[in-house]
């Protein structure tokens, strides 16, 4: 009985495997935003463990949608902050998509050099670069 572990889940919960190597900060944001749980499953046939998200079907659909968006947004913010630090400027980031703006605002706290970026409510003045995250446009100005 020493190796016995019992996990209790709702009967209407499903699970989807997620890519191995996904950063823990992205998994934590998915859990927070989409009301899902995380667990490691073991494939006894191949003797490997793999990560899964567990939750109700509609929450898992939302998590799948956000997985790509959060990953791309975090990578973009990291690169913008790195460049802003290199050139000693503060990058102003704007998007008219409220969902993405909320995600960018949350993810800003997860990256290094966050002092060099600012999520703004209005389109930055002057020259700006346009970045696409998923199918949404993000404007970066100085």
What are 22-65's pLDDT values in tens digits?
888 899 999 999 999 999 988 888 888 899 999 999 999 999 98
The answer to the question of residue 9 being in a domain is no
The answer to the question of residue 18 being in a domain is yes
Quick one: which of 134, 54, 141, 142 has its CA closest to 100?
134
What are 86-117's pLDDT values in tens digits?
999 999 999 999 989 999 999 999 898 999 99
- Give residues with Cβ within 8 angstroms of 6, minimum separation 6: none
The answer to the question of residue 110 being in a domain is yes
The answer to the question of residue 65 being in a domain is yes
Instruction: Give the pLDDT band of residue 9 (cuts 50, 70, 90).
Output: low
Residue 12, pLDDT score: 78
The answer to the question of residue 111 being in a domain is yes
The answer to the question of residue 8 being in a domain is no
The answer to the question of residue 53 being in a domain is yes
Domain extent for 104 = 14-141
């Amino acid at each position: 009985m020493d190796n016995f572990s019992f996990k209790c889940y709702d009967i209407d919960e499903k699970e989807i495997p997620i890519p191995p190597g996904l950063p823990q900060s992205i998994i934590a944001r998915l859990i927070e935003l989409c009301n899902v749980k995380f667990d490691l499953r073991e494939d006894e046939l191949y003797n490997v463990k793999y990560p899964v998200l567990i939750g109700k079907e509609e929450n898992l659909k939302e998590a799948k949608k956000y997985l790509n968006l959060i990953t791309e947004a975090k990578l973009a913010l990291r690169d913008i902050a790195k460049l802003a630090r290199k050139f000693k400027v503060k990058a102003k980031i704007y998007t008219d998509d409220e969902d993405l703006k909320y995600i960018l605002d949350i993810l800003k706290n997860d990256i290094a050099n966050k002092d060099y970026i600012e999520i703004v409510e209005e389109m930055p003045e002057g020259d700006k670069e346009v970045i696409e995250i998923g199918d949404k446009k993000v404007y970066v100005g100085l």
